[in-house]
Each structure stands twice: as C-alpha cells, then as structure tokens.
Amino acid sequence: MVLLISLLQTLVFWMLFVNGSQEVWLQSGKRNLEHLIASLRALLILGRKGNPNREFSRFRHRWFEAKGPSLYMNELSSRKYVGIPGMNSICRALCDEPGIESKFGTGVAKMEWAVDQNSWSLISLDGKFLGDFSGLVATDKILASPGFTYVTGHPPPLDMNLAPQMASRLEEVPFRSYFVLMLAFHEPLRSIPVKGLSFINSAILSCAFCDSSKPGRASASECWVLHSTEEYAKKVIADAGRTKASDITLARVSEDLLQEFQRTGLCTSQPYFMKAHRWGSAFPTISIAREDKCLWDVNKRLIVCGDFCVSPNVEGAIRSGLAAASKFMEMCSCTPCL
C-alpha cells in the first residue's frame, strides 16, 4: 500500500467559495496539458454516473485590468477549467476511483522509516498507529518544515534526516504569501460588468473573482473572492508573526480588503458574509526540480512532489504529481512493494 500525504488542500471550499486556485489555466502551446485535461474530463465525466453533479467544465470569462475606477483596460482571454459544483470535485472524483482508499480528518504526527520492515510507519496526532506503508509521497513541503509547527503547534512529522539529499533542496523554497477575503452579497454587484479583475495600482488588492459566476455554482448569492497583494501580506505577517493567524488579525484583514474594494467604487453594497483566510504558502518563487519534476529516495521509496518542483500553478502541481506516480511505479518494478 502507498500513502499520499498532503497537509494543506490546494483547493478549499467555504460556502461554495474557492479561496485558493480559482481555475486551471491553459497556456498556449501546452499541447501535452491539453491532452491531460482531456483525460481528466473523460475520467470525471465517467465518474458522474454515481454523482451527476461532478464534472470538469471549460469556460471563458471576461477579465480586465483595472486602474483606479476604470474597468475597461486590457481584456485578458484564456481558456480555463473548473470543477463542478466546486474545485474540490476534481479531487473527490479521483478519490472515488477503484483501488483508492481515502481518509479524512486524521492528522499525522509522525512518519517513521522502519528499517527492519522496509516500510513507513505512521502515527496519528492522538498517538494511534495508522499502519505500515510501502511508499510515501509527500505533496506539501511544510511536512518537513518549521512552518508546520507555526501552523499546527506540532513538530514536522517527516524527519528529513532520513533523506538528507532532499533536505537542503526543500529548505531553499521561499513562498509568496497572500490573504484572501470571501464575500457574499444578497444582490449582484451590477456596477461591475466583468467577473475577474486585476488591480494594478493598489497596495492592498491584487485581484478579485466572482466565484458564483462559474458553471454549476449556486445562484442564490453573489460570491466574490479578493486576493491581497504580496506586499500587504508581508506587512501583516511581520506585525502578527508566522503563527496561525488570530481572529483579531483576520478581522483587520477583512476590513482592509473590503474597504479597498469599496474605495475603488466597484462595490457599494455591504456583504452579509465575510471571512478572511491566510494563504501562507500560496506561490513558490523558485522551482527545485524543473527537469525531474519531483524529488525521490529510491532506497526508502520516498517521493516529494508539488508545484514548488515545477511551476507555481495547478499545471505545475499536476505535472509534478504525474512524475511522482511514474517514479513510484518505477521503484516498485525494481523493488517489490508490500
């Protein structure tokens, strides 16, 4: 059995909000990604037999850069894909595939390499033995980083002394942090004629998305997601520290982002729902395995993959995950797995 460990979900839902990656963008010239998306669509459409609400849809939105109160600048057109009814439908459909056993709500406190058994042993946060596994694929570098302690209060579960050749490369990965604000309105924001905005002269806001405008979303409310600038996030984190953001900090962020959104004149309504979230490891600033697309230790059947290996987007994460799967199959062909 192989265990795939991911601490933080890239795609997160609150009230049908996506506060992480808003869509999968297809960049021109990426024919192999087109093929991958086609495969995913076929997989998820077949998966609709058990749940007709799950699919992978392509859509086009009007997207403008905004300078101050002006909306009509450069229209940015690109093909984008989203999960229906939400982005996590993509992951859920994959979890339902035959041979996949998913466990949710279980925190892993320790991952130990059992030399005598040639396998990985996992211990939960409450001290329970979770089982032995022939391989381990870690998709979040925070599992071996001090950042894990900042967020959870527990030491990192993966001891990189077990794979020192990986440790130095993982320590080199800096990230850009952002804050995200989720807003819900009773009525549409009719003063905004587009569904995606990029702010190019704001010290606080970088972009805004109308989440409820995507295919398959509920239409009872109009939901918007605002992303802060990197500079604003740096200032807040410098003041509040890198530990888990407090309610006071998030309340301050909520007010700052909403006031900046309203200051542009784009939004005059008051939301009936407002919640801020810190996206601490939003975008890696370097790629540590651009050629190989993942890191691995053959002897311990340990693989580390993620967007930080290839490129800071969903495409990079997918490519890295595919490389990790291929590498693990190669490992098993050389050394029999449990």
In this structure, the answer to whether residues 309 and 198 fall within a common structural domain is no
pLDDT band at 55 (very low <50, low <70, confident <90, very high): very low
203: Cα separation from own chain's centroid:
24
The amino acid at 18: V
- How far, CA to CA in Å, does 45 sit from each of 4, 49, 68, 95? 24, 8, 42, 14
How would you class 207 by CB atoms within 10 Å of its CB: exposed for 0-12, middle for 13-18, buried for 19 or more? buried
Roughly what angle, to the nearest 10 degrees, separates helices 247-263 and 230-240?
150
The amino acid at 139: T
In this structure, the answer to whether residues 182 and 66 fall within a common structural domain is yes
How many other C-beta atoms lie within 10 A of the C-beta of residue 211? 25
In this structure, the answer to whether residues 156 and 291 fall within a common structural domain is yes
Residue 34 forms part of a structural domain: no
In this structure, the answer to whether residues 278 and 301 fall within a common structural domain is no
pLDDT at 75 over 70: no
Better pLDDT: 36 or 115: 115
Give the lowest-confidence range in 34-38, 118-122, 136-140, 290-294.
34-38
Residue 158 forms part of a structural domain: yes
Better pLDDT: 282 or 53: 282
pLDDT at 222 over 50: yes
Q: What is the pLDDT of residue 221?
A: 87
Mean of pLDDT over the chain: 78
- Which percentage of the chain shows pLDDT scores above 90? 32
pLDDT at 137 over 70: yes
Q: What is the pLDDT of residue 197?
A: 84
* Number of domains the chain contains: 2
Whichever domain contains 263, its CATH number is 3.90.660.10
Find the domain containing 111 and state its range: 2-7+96-171+287-334
pLDDT at 8 over 70: no
Alpha helices for the chain (secondary structure H) = 31-46, 88-95, 147-152, 164-171, 230-240, 247-263, 314-334
Look up the pTM and report it.
0.77
How does DSSP classify residue 67?
B
What 3-state class would DSSP assign to 22? coil
Cα 280 to Cα 237: distance, rounded to the nearest angstrom: 9
Query: Among residues 234, 253, 232, which one has the least CA distance to residue 242?
Result: 234
Q: Which residues of 92-130 are buried (b: 16+ CB within 10 A; e: fewer)?
A: bbeeeeeeeeeeeeeebbbbebeeeebbbebbeeeeeeb
Q: What is the pLDDT of residue 19?
A: 56
In this structure, the answer to whether residues 233 and 197 fall within a common structural domain is yes
Give the lowest-confidence range in 61-75, 76-90, 236-250.
61-75
Cα 63 to Cα 69: distance, rounded to the nearest angstrom: 15
pLDDT at 170 over 70: yes
In this structure, the answer to whether residues 114 and 165 fall within a common structural domain is yes
Residue 20 forms part of a structural domain: no
